[in-house]
Amino acid sequence: MLQPAKIITRNVWILSLVSMFTDVASEMLYPVMPVYLKSIGFSIVLIGVLEGFAEAIAGLSKGYFGNLSDRLGRRIPFVQIGYSLSAVSKPMMAVFTYPLWVFFARTTDRLGKGIRTGARDALLSDEATPETKGRVFGFHRSLDTFGAVIGPLLALIFLQWYPGAYQTLFFLAFLPGLLAIAFTVLIREKKKAQAGGPTKPGFLDFLGYWRRSPAQYRQLVSALLVFTLFNSSDVFLLLQIKAAGLSDSAVIGMYVFYNVVYALASYPLGILADRIGMRRVFVLGLLLFAAVYAGMAFASVWPAFAALFFLYGIYAAATEGIAKAWLTNICAKKDTATAIGTYTAFQSIGALIASSLAGLIWYSAGAATVFIMSACVGIAVAIYLGRLNNFENQ
**What number is the average pLDDT over the span 248-265?**
87
Burial string for 191-210 (b: 16+ CB within 10 Å, else e) reads ebeebeeeeebeeebbeebe
Does 1 fall in a domain?
no
310 class by beta-carbon count within 10 Å (0-12 exposed, 13-18 middle, 19+ buried): middle
Does 197 fall in a domain?
no
**What number is the average pLDDT over the span 140-165?**
88
Residues whose CB falls within 8 Å of the CB of residue 135, separated by 6 or more in sequence, listed in order: 7, 8, 128, 267, 270, 271, 274
**What number is the average pLDDT over the span 83-88?**
94
Q: Domain holding 111: CATH number?
A: 1.20.1250.20
Closest CA to 237 of 161, 303, 295: 295
Does 163 fall in a domain?
yes
Does 205 fall in a domain?
no
**What integer best gives the mean pLDDT of the chain?**
86
Domain that holds residue 226: 10-190+210-391
Asked whether the whole model's pTM tops 0.75, one would answer yes
Q: Read off the pLDDT of residues 181-220 as tens digits, 9 standing for 90 and up.
A: 999 999 988 765 555 555 666 666 777 888 888 989 999 9
Mean pLDDT check: name the lowest of 141-145, 222-226, 242-246, 283-287: 242-246
Residue 70 CA, distance from chain mean position: 21
Mean pLDDT check: name the lowest of 9-18, 32-41, 87-96, 207-216: 32-41
Cα four-point dihedral sign 357, 363, 364, 369: positive
Cα separation, 73 vs 190, whole angstroms:
10
Q: What is the pLDDT of residue 4?
A: 44
**pLDDT-derived band of residue 59, with 50, 70 and 90 as boundaries?**
confident
Does 23 fall in a domain?
yes
| Cα dihedral: 67, 6, 179, 145 (round 10) | 80
Q: Read off the pLDDT of residues 64-81 as tens digits, 9 standing for 90 and up.
A: 899 898 888 889 999 999
Closest CA to 28 of 160, 140, 170, 161: 170
Does 387 fall in a domain?
yes
Asked if pLDDT for residue 124 goes beyond 70, the answer is: yes
Does 122 fall in a domain?
yes
Question: Among 55-64, 245-254, 260-269, 338-347, which range has the highest average pLDDT?
Answer: 260-269
Q: What is the pLDDT of residue 28?
A: 86
Residues whose CB falls within 8 Å of the CB of residue 43, separated by 6 or more in sequence, listed in order: none
Asked if pLDDT for residue 115 goes beyond 60, the answer is: yes
Sequence length of the chain is 394
Q: What is the pLDDT of residue 155?
A: 86
Total domain count for the chain?
1
Does 196 fall in a domain?
no
Enumerate the H helices of 30-162 as residue ranges: 33-39, 44-72, 76-95, 99-126, 133-161
Q: What is the pLDDT of residue 58?
A: 77
